């Protein structure tokens, strides 16, 4: 297991280097001048030149890239052009809000998807299965940029039950978590249904029923337990999707997380902040996939890493 972890960590290094290089290249290809955006169109040329020199934007692109990579290795992602704050500090202030939203969204997805998938699998081919499958298809078809405003209009503007923006109480978390978690639950429900149906066809489930195990016990203790590997795999991939989907959701509900920071930084051509936010998302994605691989060994004792 230790050798496997070391190998996976070593393989993650070129992935992160590739992501950092790609982000650096793309952000510098976006049209627009951050210095011009900060000072305005009527700024004197000498002020523009002085600020560009102070920010290091007058250096050759390769020199800026080398400085960025050196800083990334040492944990220094530079200073935000827009706020003049250390990027690491800005991300650290926003990260708790994003983690809170991501975990709440995953809880919403699991609470909806697992029961729905199990019920659809047990009654496969019946009207219950068709209803659950239709509900999952509806969930997959609802993008967050449509579902979020719809929920805000219904529960905040029309009914006045929940706040429409901000963070601070549990009520502020409800709408963003549902907006982000509902579409993910549709995908997870379909995977749960397919995995449980496959396990229900195995002989060990029939043997358990023959030994007097109740139908619920056969489904939950045997079939569902042995179908967890594909479910956990999808959960790991969805956690990465939560981070990327949070960019839209946090913007809709003015949630003070990393996703909203990324959108604000892109609009201001804030190169260091954009690079830092995307690099953080990439690191989180790689880390979650590594944790999923490790979880396989605990879910299925037959799995051994050479």
pLDDT tens figures, 266-287: 777 777 888 888 888 888 877 7
- Euclidean distance between CA atoms 30 and 53, whole angstroms: 20
Cα angle vertex 52, ends 69, 264, to 5°? Answer: 70
- Euclidean distance between CA atoms 169 and 50, whole angstroms: 45
pLDDT number for residue 41 = 65
- Euclidean distance between CA atoms 123 and 197, whole angstroms: 10
Whether residue 180 contacts residue 101, with contact meaning beta carbons closer than 8 Å, is answered with: yes
Tens-place pLDDT, residues 286-300: 777 777 777 766 666
52: nearest Cα among 37, 66, 62: 37
- Euclidean distance between CA atoms 204 and 98, whole angstroms: 42
- Euclidean distance between CA atoms 9 and 277, whole angstroms: 21
pLDDT number for residue 293 = 72
More confident of the two residues 4 and 283: 283
Query: What topology is assigned to 87-299 in CATH?
Result: MetI-like fold (1.10.3720)
pLDDT cut 90: percent of the chain above it? 0
CATH 1.10.3720.10 domain span(s) along the chain: 87-299
H-helix segments, the chain:
2-29, 34-39, 45-55, 61-74, 87-122, 127-141, 144-151, 170-200, 203-210, 215-217, 225-226, 228-252, 258-267, 271-299
pTM score, whole prediction: 0.78
- Euclidean distance between CA atoms 95 and 214, whole angstroms: 45
Whether residue 192 contacts residue 119, with contact meaning beta carbons closer than 8 Å, is answered with: no
Highest mean pLDDT among 75-89, 102-116, 263-277: 102-116
pLDDT cut 70: percent of the chain above it? 88
Whether residue 129 contacts residue 138, with contact meaning beta carbons closer than 8 Å, is answered with: no
pLDDT (mean) for 184-200: 84
- Euclidean distance between CA atoms 226 and 297, whole angstroms: 13
Tens-place pLDDT, residues 51-64: 677 767 777 778 87
Q: What are phi and psi of 31, to 5 degrees?
A: -60, 145
pLDDT number for residue 39 = 63
pLDDT number for residue 303 = 56
Q: Is the pLDDT of residue 182 over 60?
A: yes
- 33 band by pLDDT with thresholds 50, 70 and 90: low
Average pLDDT, the chain: 79
């Amino acid at each position: 297991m230790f050798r496997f972890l070391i190998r996976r960590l070593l393989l993650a290094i070129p992935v992160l280097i590739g992501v950092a290089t790609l982000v650096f290249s793309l952000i510098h290809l976006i049209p627009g001048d951050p210095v011009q955006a900060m000072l305005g169109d009527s700024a004197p040329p000498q002020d523009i030149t002085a600020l560009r020199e102070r920010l290091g934007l007058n250096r050759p692109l390769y020199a800026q890239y080398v400085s960025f990579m050196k800083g990334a290795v040492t944990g220094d992602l530079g200073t935000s052009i827009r706020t003049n704050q250390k990027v690491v500090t800005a991300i650290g202030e926003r990260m708790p809000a994003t983690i809170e939203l991501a975990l709440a969204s995953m809880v919403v997805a699991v609470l909806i998807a697992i029961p729905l998938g199990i019920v659809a699998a047990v009654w496969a081919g019946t009207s219950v299965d068709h209803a659950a499958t239709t509900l999952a298809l509806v969930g997959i078809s609802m993008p967050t940029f449509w579902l979020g405003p719809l929920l805000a209009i219904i529960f905040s503007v029309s009914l006045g039950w929940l706040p429409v923006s901000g963070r601070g109480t549990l009520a502020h978390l409800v709408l963003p978590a549902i907006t982000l978690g509902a579409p993910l639950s549709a995908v997870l429900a379909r995977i749960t249904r397919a995995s449980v149906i496959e396990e229900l066809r195995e002989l060990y489930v029939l043997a358990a029923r023959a030994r007097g195990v109740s139908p619920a016990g056969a489904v939950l203790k045997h079939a569902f337990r042995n179908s967890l590997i594909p479910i956990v795999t999808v959960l790991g991939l969805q956690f990465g999707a939560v981070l990327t989907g949070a960019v839209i959701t946090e913007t809709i509900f003015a949630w003070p997380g990393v996703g909203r920071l990324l959108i604000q930084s892109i609009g201001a051509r804030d190169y260091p902040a954009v690079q830092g936010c995307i690099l953080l998302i990439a690191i989180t994605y790689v880390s979650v996939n590594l944790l999923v691989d490790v979880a396989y060994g605990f879910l299925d004792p037959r799995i051994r890493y050479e």
